[in-house]
Each structure stands twice: as C-alpha cells, then as structure tokens.
Amino acid sequence: MGWVRCIAEPGPAQFRGTEDGGEPSATLRGFHPSDLDTIMEIVAEGLHEHYDPTLYGTLSAAWPEGFLVAADELDRPVGFLLGVNQTPGEGRVLMFAVDRAARRRGVGTLLMEAFLERCRRRGLHRATLEVRVSNAAAIRLYARFRFSVVDLLRGYYSDGENGYQMARDVA
Ligand SMILES: CC(C)(COP(=O)(O)OP(=O)(O)OC[C@H]1O[C@@H](n2cnc3c(N)ncnc32)[C@H](O)[C@@H]1OP(=O)(O)O)[C@@H](O)C(=O)NCCC(=O)NCCS
C-alpha cells in the first residue's frame, strides 16, 4: 500500500494510501545539497520560477528545520516546503511545491503539518504565505489548514498577477 510517513515527526503522521499498491512512499527529511537539481526542476515546473541556486543553501543554513523535503523510496525529492523566519515570531512559506506526478496523495499536507510543527517548536506564533489569486488548489489546501486571506497584493507576481497574503496562528 502506498503511503507517506514522516521520520522526523513520529506519532500519528497522516498518510493516504492508494488502491493499487504500486505507489511510492514519501518520507520527510531535511534538505541535502544533492537535492538541489531535483528541487530546482520542481520549482521550474510547479512555480515557474528560477532562483539563484545558492539561495537554497543559504536559507537552509539560516533555519535548517524550516526546509522540509519529502523524498521517495530512493531518497529523491518529490516535494518540498522552504520556510523562513526573517520576521520575529513569524514563519513564512517561501516556496512550496510537489512534483506533478506525486500530487493529490497527501504529500503537500504532510509538508505543511510538519512546517507548522517546526514553527511551534521554534516558538513562532504566526505563519504567513503568499499565493496567486488563481491558484485554487493551493488556496484550498491553505484554507484546510485554517490560513485566511489577510491582504490583497496587487501586481505581486512578475507577470502582474495579484497575490493573496494568507496567515494563521500557530499556537
Ligand atoms: C499546492 C500543492 C503543493 C499541493 O500538494 P499536494 O501534495 O497535491 O497536496 P495534498 O495531496 O496534500 O492535497 C491536500 C488538499 O489540498 C487541496 N488540493 C490539492 N490539490 C488540489 C487540486 N488540484 N484541486 C483542488 N484542491 C486541491 C485539496 O483540498 C486536497 O485535499 P483532498 O485531496 O482531500 O481534496 C501542489 O498542488 C503543487 O505543488 N502545486 C504547484 C505549486 C504551487 O502552486 N505551490 C503553492 C504556491 S503558493
């Protein structure tokens, strides 16, 4: 049975099975420099962005626990959430994406649950993120996690699309 689990977060980690038994597993771990190429591919495909490769290592060094990678059974990344803590008391989701082939199986949910737990452990009280107003899939996931829209960011994205800033308490 396919499933996702979280080594770093023992306990009742949520997972979702599939019927055919052939789905790969995904395990949460921290970022490794060898993940870089795969993560940049996921970013290019899912977020249509290209960031300076050095950014990932720099942000990982600043808050290693805030950079979560979901890896398959061969330890290849299938999704990740890169969180930063640049504002006191606040964790911000800077990048969050799951490989297209691995979506809708609970990987994004697992990553977000773990991120919020890392925020709590760090003593942060609020989590924030930005999302394109057209990104219904992500907005639905965030709403399930009790994020609400706190601001409309006009022309926030490089192609001129508006964004929502969303936030929630993490206590
Ligand atoms: C957003 C994203 C990370 C979600 O990852 P995921 O692993 O597919 O998420 P999950 O399987 O945990 O889905 C959790 C819930 O989110 C919502 N959701 C996810 N994908 C959805 C879709 N395509 N349409 C509608 N709702 C969706 C659903 O409520 C879903 O629960 P359900 O399957 O029980 O209905 C993924 O779609 C992705 O990488 N998208 C491209 C990059 C992106 O938009 N990132 C966010 C930038 S702000």
pLDDT in tens, 75-97: 999 999 999 999 999 999 999 99
If DSSP codes are grouped into helix, strand and coil, which group holds residue 154?
coil
The H or E element spanning position 41 is helix 36-46
| CA–centroid distance, residue 93 to ligand 1 (Å) | 15
Q: Is the CB of 143 under 6 A from ligand 1?
A: no
Q: Which CATH superfamily groups domain 4-127?
A: Gcn5-related N-acetyltransferase (GNAT) (3.40.630.30)
User: With 80 as the cut, is the pLDDT of residue 24 above it?
Assistant: no
* Predicted TM-score of the model (pTM): 0.89
Q: Backbone phi, then psi, for 70, in 5-degree steps?
A: -100, 120
> What pLDDT shows up at residue 170?
96
Per-residue pLDDT reduced to its tens digit, 45-55? 999 888 999 99
Shortest-distance Cα residue to atom 19 of ligand 1: 137
Nearest CA to ligand 1 atom 20: 137
Cα torsion through 4, 6, 12, 14, rounded to 10: -30
Q: Whose CA is closest to atom 35 on ligand 1? A: 104
Spatial separation of the C-alpha atoms in residues 26 and 15, rounded to whole Å = 10
Is the minimum distance from the CB of 109 to ligand 1 under 6 angstroms?
A: yes
Our answer on whether the CB atom of 80 is closer than 6 Å to any ligand 1 atom is no
Q: Across the beta sheet with 90-98, what order do the strands follow?
A: 4-6, 26-30, 67-71, 77-87, 90-98, 126-132, 163-169, 148-153
- Residue ranges covered by each domain of the chain: 4-127
Contact 127, 91 (CB under 8 A): yes
Q: pLDDT by residue (tens digit) across 96-111?
A: 999 999 999 999 999 9
10 band by pLDDT with thresholds 50, 70 and 90: very low
